[in-house]
Structure 1
Amino acid sequence: MQAVGTLPHSPNHNLCLGSGTCGLGNFRMVHAKSWTLKKHFEGSPTHSNFELKTVELPSLKNGEVLLEALFLTVDPYMRVAAKRLKEGDMMMGQQVARVVESKNSAFPAGTVVVAFSGCTTHSISDGKDLEKLPAEWPDTVPVSLALGTVGMTGLTASFGLLDICGVKGGETVMVNAAAGAVGSVVGQIAKLKAHPREYYLSAAPHGRVHRHPLARRGPPEGSERLAEMGRRG
C-alpha cells in the first residue's frame, strides 16, 4: 500500500496525505488509514457502520517495528467480536504485513509476517505478536494464503478433521456448511486422505441448500464422531 498524495512543503514543514511515509532529513512522519467501528449494528452491517480514519503514528522505540499491510482478513467472528468494541475503536483482524522500518534485530526490514494488527494500513509492533512466514515459503504460493488455507482456517480444518475426529482412510466424511472457509478446506483434506465416499451438506446464500445426493438420506448409520469446527456469528 502506498501514499496517496503529498502536499508541497515549506522549509519548516513536511506533510503527507493518506497512508504511507514521507521524510525530510531526519524527520519522518507515518500516516495510517484505519477502519473503525462508527456505530454498532444489528443484522447485516452497512457502510454507515464504519469510518475510515487517518492517524499519525509515533516514532519507533527500541525493539519496535513499523508494519505495512499487504493483505487483510474479513472473518465471520468479527461480527460477534465487534459487539465488544466501543464506537470509534479500530476493527480487529489479522494481516500479512511487511516490516518497512525496524529497531528490532529479530525482524529486519523486508521481513514478511502475520500480525493481529487490525484493519489498518500501517501499525507499530514490539514483535511479540508477530509470526514470521517460513523462509522456505515458495515463490509460487501467494502469501495471502497465510491468512487462510495455510493459516488459522487451514489449521482449524486439519486439527478438527484429523486430530479431533480422527478420520482415517476409507471412512465417509460429512461436512456441514462445506461452502464456508473451514468446511471447504475440510473437504479438500478429506479428498487428499483418499476417502472414496465423502459427501457434503453445504449452506448457500439466501437460505438455499445444495446437497450431494447421498446427503439427502442424512448421516450414515454407525456415525460416531461429530465435531463443530466453526460457529457462525
Structure 2
Amino acid sequence: MAAQDNNSVHHPKWSYVGNTGPEYWGDVEGANACKIGKQQSPINITNVTASSAAAPVINYNQSTDVRIHDNGHTVVYTPTTEDNTIQLDNKRYVLKQFHYHTPSEHQFGSQNYPGEIHFVHANSEGNLAVMGIMLQIGEANDVLRVLLNGTKITTLNDDEFTANKVDLSALAPVMPTFYHYSGSLTTPPCSEQVQWYVSKQPLTLASDQFDIMSDLYEGNNRPIQPQGSRKVEQLSN
C-alpha cells in the first residue's frame, strides 16, 4: 500500500532498488517503522485460522469521477466522491484511493500473482482498512481499460487526468474469501495498525492491459515481511 506523495516524481526519497531500496527505507525521515516495526506488510499468507467474523461488505455501487496521478512509485486512482465504501463491524470505511503493484506484494504459498491492487479505506476516526485484490492475466476488464487509458494520458502529459463516471463495482470481487490480519503500509512511512483484507480470488485483465501497468512500474513490490506471532484469519462470507 503506497502513501500518496505528490512530490516524489521530482524528489525521490525512496525506491525499490539500490541505495534507496527497501533495505534502506528505515533511514527515510519519519519511516523508522520500516526497520523496527513488528507488524509489517506484506506477508506470505499461510498458517491460516478459520474465523466466524464477517467479511467486509463492499458497497461500490455509485459511479464516480476518478483522478489519476503518477506519484513516482505507482499510479494512484482517487475517487472524487465518498459514496463507495466498505462496512466493517458496523463502521463505514470510505474508499480514499487505490493503486497497484506488479508483481503482487502479498504471497499465497510463497507464490506471487502478476499484480495486486490495494483499495485504501478510512473510517471517520482515520483508521485504515485495505483490500488487497490479486491480478491475473485472463479476460479483459472494461473498467480497468478506461482507467488505464487515462493512465497513458497522465504519463504522456506528466499531469493529472480525470476519468469520468467510473463504475467501481466491476473491480470488486464477487463472493470472495478474505484473509484478515493486522499490518502496515507497504511503503514509507510503513505505519502500522492497518487492517488488511486480502482476497485470493483474482481480478482478471487482458495481457495488453497488464502490460500498461508493468511497463510503468515493474517490481514496485516490497519484499515479504515476517509474520511473527500474528494471526491470519480466513473470514466467512
TM-score by length of structure 2 reads 0.27
TM-score by length of structure 1 reads 0.27
Report 1 or 2 for greater relative contact order, CA contacts < 8 Å, sequence distance ≥ 6. Answer: 2
Rg bigger for which structure? 1
Instruction: Specify which structure has the higher proportion of strand.
Output: 2
